[in-house]
Structure 1
């Protein structure tokens, strides 16, 4: 972790979860943190605030900051499982976006304590990886491949789109520049790479094909996350939002400043949504890949 306060939070969290600091026992005060880690008072204050936010500690008047007693929760950690935590986290993220997922929020959803959750997952970073792995696992890869590389690539991207459609936060959870090496996600990527292997393409080209196609799906799915977040924040669907601004749109189109846009959007039967944009882009990706494969075969 980069920030000094996060490293201290991680260490104190470890002491609490592993029992070095027991329930009701005082955690280091801000002055003790300053002395032990050599940080500023503002940093020490931030450490204790983060631990309170996670539900691991609480302030007792006249005593100080102490470790939360897990028995104060309505259920004990023994009733929790990693799978249950992940399932609830995915449900929260599906409704409200990834930003809404926190250990404290999950503790409330699970009727438990944040400290109990840390006995099953190390923190949000690991939790998001488990969520992404579970999401990919919902779309099992077929043991038998359809004939032809194009049909295989199309199937692979449709499966990935279904994962993102069901879980819009996946576009934010999965990174190509800093990939999370999760088993089910790597299985999907391996299946895609095999679809274009053996076509006369070199290794660098095969890898670039796989990453660019995965980027296409993720880019198309990025709007899904925005849609979910906007709905959670406002309670208004995209269709309702557009209807509420139809007068503004009509004024802009009738101004004459955007003649091409005005002509195409007012044509009868012209409808565009995220699925139709994905379908159009998918076909163009396959068309372009066909040219590349054709050159390699010749």
Structure 2
């Protein structure tokens, strides 16, 4: 039951980061969620209790229903279920403080690169000790995972275009390419072969899998194609040549990326009847 309830909370977090639910908006009723998710009401009530406990929702002053809190967007960007493999296990971990740590780490990486991001610099920015941060973050690898997922939370999968699987994958991977170009450190932090993808990275993978499902019925084959394409985009971003474009020309690295993407999808097409 706990895992299903955590999935419900994760879905609410996704909707918050996507702007579908905003501070002050009412949550659907427990019965509506149960009907939508096809789960028991008791599981939903467990999820609603978790939403309140983690600061994502609160009861209205008149006692009618739950509403999204003002701090929910910051918490949702880094929320993890209690049994998530990379989550802090300390009872004193505060979701809002964790969001501040992750946001500060991202700001440092955006400004000066990933190599300059350290617990010491984060502590200096937040005017806190490293030992306080360690209560919320289990080392650099865990922090990079949280940073990557928070970055993906800011860029949910695009609207599906008209067209077949190829048109959908093209728009998704061009979207990811622009994400990596805007944040060069992100390609180093994300990993699409981790045993359990974080929620917002998973949303991109699910988008690609759904595009391929009508033409690639075998789930293991779909998963391999999705991972191959995502890691092509990531790998290309990790090797940006950053050569300046001539006047009136596209940037060389983007031209190379687009050419490679088309050849990759040509290969996918040969596997599809």
Which TM bucket (shorter chain)?
Answer: 0.5 to 0.7
Alignment correspondent of 2:256: 277
1:239-258: CA deviation from partner (whole Å, max 9, x where unpaired): 5xx9xxxxxxxxxxxxxxxx
Question: Contact 1:149/1:195 (CA < 8 Å) preserved in 2?
Answer: yes
* Separation of aligned partners in 2, 1:282 and 1:172: 20
287 and 184 in structure 1: CA distance in 2 versus 1, 3 angstrom threshold: same
Alignment correspondent of 1:218: 234
TM-score when normalising by structure 2: 0.57
| Equivalent in 78, 82, 88 of residue 104 of structure 2 | 88
Which structure has the larger Rg over C-alpha atoms?
Answer: 1
272 and 95 in structure 1: CA distance in 2 versus 1, 3 angstrom threshold: same
1:41-90: CA deviation from partner (whole Å, max 9, x where unpaired): xxxxxxxxxxxxxxxxxxxxxxxxxxxxxxxxxxxx99x72222111111
Instruction: For 1:112-127, list aligned pairs within 5 A.
Output: 112-127=128-143
* Separation of aligned partners in 2, 1:151 and 1:271: 21
Alignment correspondent of 2:152: 136
Question: Contact 2:101/2:133 (CA < 8 Å) preserved in 1?
Answer: yes
Question: Contact 1:129/1:180 (CA < 8 Å) preserved in 2?
Answer: no
Instruction: For 1:1-298, list aligned pairs within 5 A.
Output: 81-142=97-158, 146-179=162-195, 181-224=197-240, 239=244, 273-293=252-272, 296=273
- The alignment partner of 2:208 has SS state of helix
CA apart distance, 1:271? 6.6
CA apart distance, 1:129? 1.0
TM-score when normalising by structure 1: 0.53
Moved over 4 A (4+): 142-145, 268-272
CA apart distance, 1:121? 2.3
CA apart distance, 1:106? 0.8
